[in-house]
Amino acid sequence: MTEFDLNRDTVRSIIDMAHEFHARDDVTFEEEPEVADEYWSSQVTSDFAGDPYYQELKSTINDLEPDQQISLVALTWLGRGDFSFEEWSDALQSAEESWNDHTADYLIGTSLLADYLAEGLQQFETADVE
């Protein structure tokens, strides 16, 4: 059975915060990042530094342990369709290899983050029922 070690209530909370942040009219990104890097992070931070929704979401993600951030990235990729449910361990490995200090801004810069997380979480919940 595929293991998911991130608290599902935490994921749901992040989904809600991402919905609130991304639903605002002034939140747009030219393109989603392929990797979390210092340039992207500084760009997002400078654009939204005074935004309380951004600050709350970023703080929540940054407060997660690195392994939890890795799981959150892998869950995003699962929900986006980059990996299948059966490839969960591969998604985790790829997320671990790309993890860095800019993970929060990478995730926040993913405009459909809430939808991707919800879809990934749904795949785990469906598997739990079966």
Q: DSSP letters of 85-97? A: GGGHHHHHHHHHH
Name 51's Cβ contacts closer than 8 Å, sequence gap at least 6: 21
Chain CA centroid to CA 75, Å: 7
d(CA 24, CA 93): 33
User: Nearest to residue 70, comparing CAs of 5, 2, 3, 126?
Assistant: 5
* Average pLDDT along the chain: 84
pLDDT tens, 64-104?
999 999 999 999 999 999 999 999 999 999 999 999 888 88
